Amino acid sequence: MKVVLLAGGRGTRLAEETEIRPKPMVEIGGMPILWHILKIYSHQGFQDFVLALGYKGSLIKRFFLDFSATTRDLRLDLASGKVEVTDEHLESWRLHLIDTGLQTNTGGRVRALRKVIGDGTFMVTYGDGVSDVDLQGLLAFHRKQGRIATVTAVRPPARFGGLTLDGDLVSCFTEKPQAGEGWINGGFLVFEPAIFDYLQHDSDSLEVALLERLAAEGQLAAYQHRGFWQCMDTLRDKELLERLWQDDAPWRLWKD
């Protein structure tokens, strides 16, 4: 099954980082957040990825072209020029890196990948969010529902620490709790090929042209994920993810 990663946007709310690199290449723990997302999927059995590139997409291509040389142990024979990767833990990823345009919207990017995706069920996610979501559970839920699309619904993390008051005293303080009410689109989507009937233009937004229409037609299921989820919209989000990575990152489901 193919997994589409939307990796072409400008990430303007994270301009401190994205002036020089695409948002999916912003690093957490010394590796791009894109790498973390790929690890989340591959750990759960998904290895075939289609990256929808746009803004500074050449940097993403270069990262993967150099991936073995920069992230693995090597043995070099300088006389013959032979290079051998000696690290036993090689990734099994198959990557399609496709330029989908600089100005193309999210729905237009998925539309541009139709021939690569083929005629089967496929997954889509954004290039800036990590989670401990059960992807096999998500897929099973999607198939059981029998709808055109399934979105992973998550509780939005609060932007500020939560206080519980007892008169004039604080009885409980929680750093950035998840909001008690409401659900938002957390990405980690599953689609049937019928979604391409809804996407007609490069300017189509995945959220408006597709998800809103499917919801109105009763064709959008919601997989409720109550575990960890965090996007990287701002520098504050990046700093939070960095702290979590240095501590015990909830999305790090893999061992290596």
Share of the chain above pLDDT 90, in %: 64
Tell me what the mean pLDDT of segment 141-150 comes to: 93
Return the pLDDT at 193. 96
Tell me what the mean pLDDT of segment 128-139 comes to: 96
Q: Which residue from 154, 148, 156 is spatially nearest to 211, judged by alpha carbons?
A: 148
* Digit-coded pLDDT (tens) for 182-239: 788 899 999 999 999 999 999 999 998 899 989 988 899 999 999 999 999 899 999 9
* Digit-coded pLDDT (tens) for 103-114: 999 999 999 999
Contacts of 80 (CB under 8 A, 6+ apart): none
* Digit-coded pLDDT (tens) for 16-30: 878 888 999 999 999
Average pLDDT, rounded, for the chain: 88
Return the pLDDT at 164. 62
Structure-block tokens of residue 46: 């998904």
Burial of 184 (0-12, 13-18, 19+ CB in 10 A): middle
pLDDT-derived band of residue 10, with 50, 70 and 90 as boundaries? confident
Q: Please check the confidence at residue 170 and state whether its pLDDT lies above 60.
A: no
Q: Identify whether the C-beta of residue 124 lies closer than 8 Å to the C-beta of residue 111.
A: no
Q: Please check the confidence at residue 173 and state whether its pLDDT lies above 60.
A: no
Q: Identify whether the C-beta of residue 179 lies closer than 8 Å to the C-beta of residue 158.
A: yes
pTM for the full model?
A: 0.88
Q: Identify whether the C-beta of residue 125 lies closer than 8 Å to the C-beta of residue 187.
A: yes
Find the angle CA(175)-CA(245)-CA(21) to the nearest 5 degrees. Answer: 105
Q: Which neighbouring-strand residues pair with 40?
A: none
Q: Please check the confidence at residue 240 and state whether its pLDDT lies above 60.
A: yes
Share of the chain above pLDDT 70, in %: 89
Between 92 and 166, the more confident residue is 92
* Digit-coded pLDDT (tens) for 117-131: 999 999 999 999 999
Domain boundaries 2-247, corresponding CATH code: 3.90.550.10
Q: Identify whether the C-beta of residue 29 lies closer than 8 Å to the C-beta of residue 245.
A: yes
Q: What is the Cα–Cα distance from 246 to 164, expressed in whole angstroms?
A: 28
Return the pLDDT at 155. 84
Burial of 170 (0-12, 13-18, 19+ CB in 10 A): exposed
* Digit-coded pLDDT (tens) for 44-96: 999 999 999 999 999 999 999 888 777 777 788 888 888 787 776 678 899 99
Return the pLDDT at 81. 81
Q: Would you kindly state where each structural domain of the chain is located, as residue ranges?
A: 2-247
Q: What is the Cα–Cα distance from 125 to 189, expressed in whole angstroms?
A: 6
Q: What is the Cα–Cα distance from 79 to 256, expressed in whole angstroms?
A: 33
Q: Which residue from 55, 34, 199 is spatially nearest to 125, judged by alpha carbons?
A: 34
Return the pLDDT at 94. 94
Q: Please check the confidence at residue 133 and state whether its pLDDT lies above 90.
A: yes
From residue 154, alpha-carbon distances to 48, 50, 122 in Å are 25, 24, 20
Between 40 and 167, the more confident residue is 40
